[in-house]
Structure formats: structure tokens, C-alpha cells
Amino acid sequence: MIREIIASQAIETQEELAAALRERHIQVTQATVSRDIKEMMLIKVPMGDGQYRYAMPAQDGRLISKNRMAQIFRDTVTGSDYSENIVVVKTLPGSAGTVASAIDHAQWPEIIGTVAGDDNIIIVAKPKEAAAELNERFMKLMK
């Protein structure tokens, strides 16, 4: 429903999105809408005159930008550590899927794959030495 709404009308704020959902008889809170926006990785695009609207992220195979990745990490990641070829990223509850998706879309060649739970992500690196480098990169993104 959110995809349909943002495709058919200019939604600038979470409150406007919540109101549009309520008009469609979907009861939501601002916190729920905020969580949905993060999970869907919605972006804000310029409309002109300094105004922005929500939109779906590009799905044409482009890599996720470093700025977008950093924003996701600053907003949701609480820590990172590694052992051998495994990196574990800790997130706020409910955010692991969003972060894992961003990591997957970054298409870093040293990452074989990710597995996300509710607030933890396991990342498998290849070669083994890449785990330390990935952990360092993740820690920098959090700052």
C-alpha cells in the first residue's frame, strides 16, 4: 500500500504517509510508518522549490551509495566484530534485515553472503583476511 501511495501522490513527511494510510482504513502510528520507511529503504527525491518526496530506491542494479550506507549504519547499527571469516553486525531490534539488504546491494566482492535475524547479521567473507577489513569498514560507517 505504501508503494502505491508514494507512486500516486507526493508524500513529504511520515505524518502525511500515515494520514494517507489512514484514509485507506489502515490504522498506523508514526513509529510504525518510520519503521516501514526504513525497512523499505525509501529515499527522498527533490520535487523542486526545495521540497522533497518519498520514493522507492532505484532497482536497476545500481550499487548503494556510500552516503546511504553510512546513514543506515549510523541510524541502526550498534556494533560489529569478527572471527576468522565471519563478521557479526549488531543492530537495533528489527533493523538487521534493512542493514543486511543494504550490505547485499552494495555488492562488495569480498562478501559471500549475509544472514539476518532480528538484531544481528552474520556476514561470510572470502578470503578469511577480508573479515578484519570489513569489520573496520563497518565501524567507520557507524561514525
43 is a domain residue: yes
Residue 86 in this model has a pLDDT that exceeds 90: yes
Domain of 17?
2-55
Asked if residues 10 and 53 have their Cβ atoms less than 8 Å apart, the reply is: yes
132 with 99, same domain?
Answer: yes
70 with 48, same domain?
Answer: no
Better-scored residue on pLDDT, 28 or 45: 28
46 with 72, same domain?
Answer: no
- Domain CATH code at residue 92: 3.30.1360.40
106 with 137, same domain?
Answer: yes
Q: Which three cell numbers stand for residue 53?
A: 518526496
Which residue's entry shows cell 539476518?
116
Structure confidence at residue 58 (pLDDT): 62
Check residue 118 and report its DSSP letter.
S
Check residue 13 and report its DSSP letter.
S
Q: How many CA atoms lie within 13 A of 10 on its CB side?
A: 7
Residue 64 in this model has a pLDDT that exceeds 50: yes
Q: Label residue 132 exposed, middle or buried (CB < 10 Å: 0-12, 13-18, 19+).
A: middle
Q: Which three cell numbers stand for residue 18?
A: 500515515
Name the pLDDT band for 60 (thresholds 50, 70, 90).
very low
The beta-strand segments (E) located in 1-143 are 43-48, 51-55, 77-83, 86-91, 111-116, 120-125
Predicted model pTM: 0.59
Which residue's entry shows cell 484514509?
23
61 is a domain residue: no
Per-residue exposure over 43-66, b if at least 16 CB sit within 10 Å of its own CB, e if not: eeeeeeeeeebbbebeeeeeebee
